[in-house]
A and B are shown apart, each in its own frame.
Chain A
Amino acid sequence: MRYRSRVCAGLALVLTVAVTSPVLAQARGGGQGRGGGQGRGAPPAPAKPTPRWPDGHVKIGQVEGEPPGLWQLGGVPLARADKASDFGLFAADMRDPTDPFLASKPKLSQIPFQPWARALFANRVQIRNEPYVRCKPSSGARQVGTAYGTQLLEDRELKRFYIFETGGAHSFRTIFMDGRAHPANLSPTYRGHSVGRWEGDTLVVDTVGYNEGVWIDNLGMPTTEQLHTIERFTRTDFNTIRYEMTIDDPGAYTAPWKSPYLMRWTSGDESFEFVCQDNNQAPGLIVGDGTSVIVFPLYIP
């Protein structure tokens, strides 16, 4: 039982890379949670209005008096496929979105790739070696779209906004809401340096300082150290956030571009312990034992 459960978790981790819909992650994440199955299979209740703080500001996380919940991102790819084979071995969702917001998601042919970035992307969708499945932290839409859901938490006292992921690296991102600027001379990192502010009802998160190892989606849209992202979170009702990421990276793209998503509140779920390293399906890739497809001979611990 115990091992089966871990294997399932690990398998789900790998599988969520391949699926463009979060259905599997939702199903697993809600598995044995108390109240985790609430509402599933039943007709959806009309959404309650956007929750707000007493001062009128939008409340983006949990709401007192309501059951705990998690946010799930609908689909992780940054682009829509023009044809089913565009995403290589990944299943591409070829349906046209009915929501006008989602319909503005660019097709792959509309992404302003630089030639090298287009070639690298084509290679990545074939190789399927996402850092996420080797327990590396992801950023942008990939972090927000981590399997089993994310918790958004605004600490208004300390002027910080946090995104806690359940699956993946089971890590978190700190977004400074105190008006500070990005520091000069940032060392490139997976999560970069994020500052945020409210623009009306929209939380705007500005991030720079990424390394080139990070993936911002599950297909491997290439990025460089020049990457600058702007993420906009708008909670339009109790159960929905319109999330939009702008990718501004003159190292990989000829123009800035953006990709929209809908995030759904899953009531009754709460994050649980998830240790990717516990049952990773690719331990050779993690420690580089010299027998795996990626040979990393020098740093064997």
Chain B
Amino acid sequence: MLRNSVRLVFAGLVWTMAVTPLIAHHEISAKFDPARPTTLSGQVTKVDWANPHVHVLMNVRSGGRLVNWAVEIESPLDLERSGWNMDSLKPGDSVSVQGILARDGSPQVWGNSIVLTSTKKKVLAVSPEALAALKPVASNRPALPVPRWPDGKPRLGAAPGEAGYWARPSSTVLMETGAKVEMDGNGLLKDLKDAEKVAPFQPWARGLYQLRQRNFLNGDPLFLYCIPPGAVRQFQMPYGNQFLEDKAFGRIFVMAGGGNHEWHFIYTDGRPQTGELGGNDTNPLYYGNARGRWEGDTFVVDTRGFNESFWFSNGGLPHTEQLHLIERFTRTDMNTLKYEVTIDDPGAYTRTWSSGWTLQWVAGEELPVYYCQDNRP
């Protein structure tokens, strides 16, 4: 059916043939099949410069008729960090695209490369610098000490006159401390048989986890409906978080760069979440009922009252409304925030278990402004 300029190359299910997506805020293989690479040639009809991912629409001649294909590439933020903008490619431009086909047979590809026919040059490719901006950065200079408030407590946010936010997690996946399991950055297992090593699942939870994994995480509500990355997932996100300590009023604003650029409170004076949506057992929340306190230099956040409408981590680990988190945030130097989490959910796990990673301070930069909802109608 698809001939001429649409060449489908079934390359023997070799992963290396299909360049693995570089950044991608959700599992690309949920929608696209890395084992089905293809090449498209045609004319650009539209560039939709919108979150979560930019789409290039192009007309491709196939068997005497034109088919409009959608080529999905990385997000505007990552492309802009790579020096591109919404005018880098224009309607009417002729391009050749290498990508992988959508699993559902619709005319969509994930674009691994776009080459402008007139110049033979790649366009809208993510630069190594943009890629590095999302990963932990090694530094051989000694880090500055922890900035502190006049009362001696560490500052969770920026010091006066400075800018920055927390991002670049050292791990974007969740597994029990000590587990040795290979996954990609979105928590997709390399070998499904490793599922039981990830966490002490109850049988039903392990089954659901395996089902989500077998479906390449394609039921992820964050991806499908822009549902917030509640619980530990907010600290696995590429565009980071900012803490605004409103000390006089016993609360911390936790502000997300990505997701829907939303925010929530951690109360520091023991009071519950107020307002209409109470965060109690009749109306559980996405970010839960979070209460924090200082233990020495560690900020300990105790959260209950989560709903079950979201995935609480990358990788699709199940949870129930019984989920109870104890998160410990320790700023060990200017640039490092140690994140340790204890997961207590007798509804989904056989015992309490722990995990953790570190976040890096992105100094001198403003929190990104990213709305998942952007390209939805």
Contacts and interface: CB of A to CB of B under 8 A. Distances in A.
Interface of A: 1-2, 5-6, 9, 28-29, 31-34, 36, 62, 64, 68, 134-137, 148, 153, 155, 157-158, 162, 164, 166, 169-172, 174, 185, 187, 189-191, 269-275, 277-278, 283, 285-288, 292, 294, 296, 298-301
A171 B160 contact: no
Nearest to B264: A273
B21 to A, nearest CB: 15
A270 B274 contact: yes
Contact of A136 (B265, B278, B286, B371): B371
Contacts of B253: 153, 162, 164, 172
Interface in B136-162: 157-158, 160-162
Contacts of A187: 49, 76, 80, 85-86
A300 B107 CA distance: 11
B55 A285 contact: no
Most B CB within 10 A of own CB, among A170, A172, A277: A277
> What 3 A-B pairs come out closest when comparing CB atoms?
A272-B275, A298-B70, A31-B276
B28 to A, nearest CB: 11
Given A34-B274, A172-B255, A299-B55, A62 B377 contact: no
Given A135-B226, A272-B279, A273-B264, 4 more contacts: A137-B373, A187-B85, A299-B72, A300-B106
Nearest to B309: A278
Given A1-B282, A2-B283, A137-B261, A299 B375 contact: yes
B228 interface: yes
B124 to A, nearest CB: 14
Contact of B371 (A158, A190, A278): A190
Contacts of B248: 62, 64
Contact of B277 (A5, A135, A296): A5
A169 B76 contact: no
Nearest to B265: A271
B57 to A, nearest CB: 7
Contacts of B246: 62, 153
6 contacts: A171-B260, A272-B278, A286-B225, A286-B377, A298-B70, A301-B31
B50 to A, nearest CB: 8
- Interface range, B side: 35 or more
B144 to A, nearest CB: 17
A209 B277 CA distance: 34
B176 interface: no
Main secondary structure of the interface of A (DSSP, over half): loop
B262 interface: yes
Contact of B55 (A148, A174, A298): A298
A68 B283 CA distance: 22
B329 interface: no
A28 B276 contact: yes
B70 A294 contact: no
Contacts of A155: 244
A158 B162 CA distance: 7
B182 interface: no
A31 B275 CA distance: 7
A60 to B, nearest CB: 14
Contact of B376 (A1, A2, A191, A288): A288
Contacts of A273: 264, 273, 275, 277, 279, 285-287
A1 B281 CA distance: 11
A45 B157 CA distance: 38
Interface in B234-276: 244, 246, 248-249, 253, 255, 260-265, 273-276
Contacts of B279: 272-273
Contact of A288 (B157, B374, B377): B377
Given A2-B283, A299-B375, A269 B275 contact: yes
Most B CB within 10 A of own CB, among A34, A36, A136, A278: A278
Nearest to A286: B376
B249 to A, nearest CB: 6
A169 B106 contact: no
Contacts of B374: 136, 190
Contacts of B278: 32, 272
B276 A5 contact: yes
A64 B228 CA distance: 31
B276 A172 contact: no
Nearest to B70: A298
A299 B68 CA distance: 12
Interface in B67-108: 68, 70, 72, 76, 80, 85-86, 106-108
B224 A136 contact: no
Given A171-B263, A277-B225, A278-B309, A32 B70 contact: no
Most A CB within 10 A of own CB, among B70, B262, B263, B275: B275
Interface string B25-67: 0000001000000000000000011000001010000000000
B357 interface: no
B148 to A, nearest CB: 13
A127 to B, nearest CB: 13
Contacts of B80: 187
A143 to B, nearest CB: 12
Most A CB within 10 A of own CB, among B68, B160, B367, B371: B371
B226 A171 contact: no
Interface in B182-212: none
A136 B376 CA distance: 9
